[in-house]
Amino acid sequence: MDKRFANIFGLTEEQSIALLDTPPEQAGDESERYVAASQLANYPSEASIDALIRAVNVTYDSLDNRIARRKSVESLGKLKATKGIDAIRGCLSDEDRYTVEAAVWAIGEIGTDNTEILEEITQLLAKPNQTYRVIIHTLVKLNYGAAVDRVRPFMDHENEPTASAAISTVCLFAQDFSQIDRVVSFLQSDNVDARRACLEDLINSRYYAAIPAIARCPISLMFRLRAVRTLAENGIASGNLTVEQVLPVIEQILLDHPKDLELVHEYDQPPALEFLIQELYHTDFGRTYLATKTFIDHPIDAAPEALFATYEAEAHNDYGAHYHVMKLMGWLHHQPAYDLLIDALDNTSPQFMKSRAGAALSLGELGDQRAIAPLQTSAQSKIWMLQYASLMALEKLGDYSQHKLLLDANDWAVKAKANQTVPMAANAHQA
Amino acid sequence: MKSVVTTVIAAADAAGRFPSTSDLESVQGSLQRAAARMEAAEKLSGNLDNVAKEAYDACIAKYPYLNNAGEANSTDTFKAKCMRDVKHYMRLISYSLIVGGTGPLDEWGIAGQREVYRALNLPTGPYVAALSFARNRGCAPRDMSAQALTEYNALVDYVINSLS
């Protein structure tokens, strides 16, 4: 489990239990019990599980109790607390759809082969206004093939993420992949949620043929890397894929040049610089990549200055725009950005992780030899994507010293990259 | 984009009938509240940076641990996440105030986000803490009229409920 945010509120287990046990009508602050329920997912103890079960059984009718209760269900799921399953099961008939959704998800995390519970979950498909996608995913996770005919009607659901989940589930349960291309086609939906959602379904279906299309999908590289790596790990283990097939795709995604993406938006008129800058802040990366591509294809002299200005004003604190500023400085080969890129390379705040890899690659684009030493350091970090991006940037700068040190890297992709490159570099040197 | 008007018309059209009296009453109710919603949208748009900043400042005051130097989750982490995302949701709240329904929030802010947060194990606590503050901070008539504040608070509650 990703632990980067494990103690974001700095609460101990005892403090969290005390807050959660506070009767909702007496809670000092409305969000405290919710935060406590969330925090207890990090403490896998009997005391923590018992406190969460007590919270699930508090049915006081208020928004704040509802969300604290729902979060308690989710935390029991994260803790895989079998002991909590009876309390969670009671939530399957709750009137609040999100409480039902959390209960279904938590049962999926805990795991069960109790057919009564599995049927109860399946029957939710017949109930209006439920989160069908989560229900369908959970039925897959619990391997309840008996549900397949009740999932089938959702293949034509108007909501694309729901249809995507249903199609991939029928593929898996009925071993009929004739419709999987519809899931692949959602990678080009103009709805960003559909684009992100279908990735999960392609992972679940282990549909390796989708890897090139995933690489070209206009969503954040973090989603694409996660999908390709998960598929690759399964595919390599089962003999359906080779590392040699996967590495170029990983590099293409890490490099993240908008020319390698199939964009789903377009401008109806040439945009002004100010507009393009603002587009970098969009939460739909389909739009940010279109702006980036426009910056590259139609260079504007004032662009670097505007990028520096927006960095100072807002982007230094916005983990989306921050990344795009770093990338653009590289694509525009803007030498005065060297110091900015070095700062980004060393920024250890977790939400700027992709900016570190982006800055490494942009330093490679600038071609400034001063970057070799800091990139050698970042190549030895513990973050695989930063290691990999640093190796790519060092290659651009003609340095292969770190590849030799990473022949036994912990990460399989970094290790394969190093092992693939070292003999090639040696041959080139001899020639 | 769903709104009270489009929902009523779509339902009537699906059944091949004229809008019923209750349909018209719900549209009329929405129109009567339109002035309050527009006022809230205008005040929110004009004050967005302050609202977002106050929300995260309040959270940091409440959880001073975040200020400790060298903590894995630095203050900047929290601030950046809160600031960016609270602004995003506030923008969608302003759209929803204008539409007179939760369509913009449902379609652009909530659908899919719950799954992403869960899949990537991202914390929703900061949103809830910050948005709860944003809701409680509003004051009539200092910030906006009582009716406008009711409209605004209902949508903030809607986001808190849907994201948590």
Half-sphere exposure of B79 (CA within 13 A, CB side): 17
Residues A282 and A423 in one domain: yes
A85 contacts A112 by C-beta, under 8 angstroms: yes
**A284 belongs to a structural domain:** yes
Comparing A319 with A116, which gets the higher pLDDT?
A116
- Give the number of other CB atoms < 10 A from CB of residue A173: 19
Cβ separation of A98 and B114 shorter than 8 Å? yes
The answer on A425 and A341 residing in a single domain is yes
Q: How confident is residue B71, by pLDDT bands cut at 50, 70 and 90?
A: very low
Domain co-membership, A424 together with A280: yes
Question: Which one of B63, B111, B128 has the shortest CB-CB distance to A67?
Answer: B128
Residue A2 lies in a domain: yes
Are A424 and A294 within one domain? Answer: yes
Residues A101 and A158 in one domain: no
pTM: 0.80
What is the pLDDT, as a whole number, of residue A6? 54
Residue of B nearest to A198 (CA): B112
Domain final position from A107, A133, A162: A107
Nearest-Cα distance to chain A for B110, in Å, is: 10
Contact criterion met (CB < 8 Å) for B122 and A10: no
B76, B79, B162: residue with CB nearest A98: B162
Same domain, A288 and A332: yes
Q: How far is B74 from chain A (nearest CA, A)?
A: 7
Which residues span the domain enclosing A15? Answer: 1-107
Boundary-marking domain end, from A90, A107, A124: A107
Q: How far apart are CA B73 and CA B60, in angstroms?
A: 12
Q: Which of B77, B115, B157 sits opposite A351 (nearest CB)?
A: B77
In the structure, what pLDDT confidence band is assigned to residue B117 with cuts at 50, 70 and 90?
Answer: confident
User: Which domain-ending residue is among A156, A173, A205?
Assistant: A205
Could B83 and A317 be called an inter-chain contact, meaning their C-beta atoms sit closer than 8 Å? yes
pLDDT of residue A338: 98
Interface confidence, given as ipTM, is 0.76
Structure tokens at B58: 């309040």
Pure H helices in A332-383: 338-345, 353-366, 372-379
Structural domain count of chain A = 3
Cβ-nearest to B164 among A1, A71, A319: A71
- DSSP per-residue string spanning A180-241: HHHHHHGGG-SSHHHHHHHHHHHHHHT-GGGHHHHHTSSS-HHHHHHHHHHHHHHHHHTTS-
Q: State the average pLDDT for chain A.
A: 93
Q: Are residues A280 and A194 in the same domain?
A: no
In a domain, A302, yes or no: yes
Please tell me the distance in Å from B163's CA to the nearest CA on chain A.
9
| CA atoms of B59 and A60, how far apart (whole Å) | 25
Residue A210 lies in a domain: no
Confidence check: pLDDT of A303 > 50: yes
Q: Report whether A262 contacts A248 (CB < 8 A).
A: no
The answer to whether residues A286 and A425 belong to one domain is: yes
User: Are residues A85 and A27 both part of a single domain?
Assistant: yes
Identify whether A351 is part of a domain: yes
Of the partner residues B68, B80, B114, the one whose CB lies closest to the CB of residue A351: B80
A29-40 pLDDT, tens digit per residue, is 778 899 899 999
Task: Give tens-digit pLDDT for A236-248.
Answer: 999 999 999 999 9
Residue A11 belongs to domain with CATH number:
1.25.10.10
My answer on whether A101 and A125 are in the same domain is no
A265 occurs within a structural domain: no
**Domain check: are A94 and A134 in the same one?**
no
Residues A60 and A200 in one domain: no
Closest C-alpha among A336, A313, A339, A337 to residue A327: A337
In B, which residues are within 8 Å of A35 by CB distance? 125, 128-129
A245-263: average pLDDT:
97
Q: Do the chains contact at B122 and A200, CB–CB below 8 Å?
A: no
> Would residue A382 count as lying in a domain?
yes
Spell out which residues of chain B touch residue A200, defining contact as CB-CB under 8 Å: 115, 119
The answer to the question of residue A235 being in a domain is no
In the structure encoding, which two tokens stand for residue A74, read together?
């989710």
Query: Cβ separation of B80 and A30 shorter than 8 Å?
Result: no
Query: Does A34 contact B161 at a Cβ distance shorter than 8 Å?
Result: no
Taking an 8 Å cut-off on Cβ atoms, the answer to whether B76 and A29 are in contact is: no
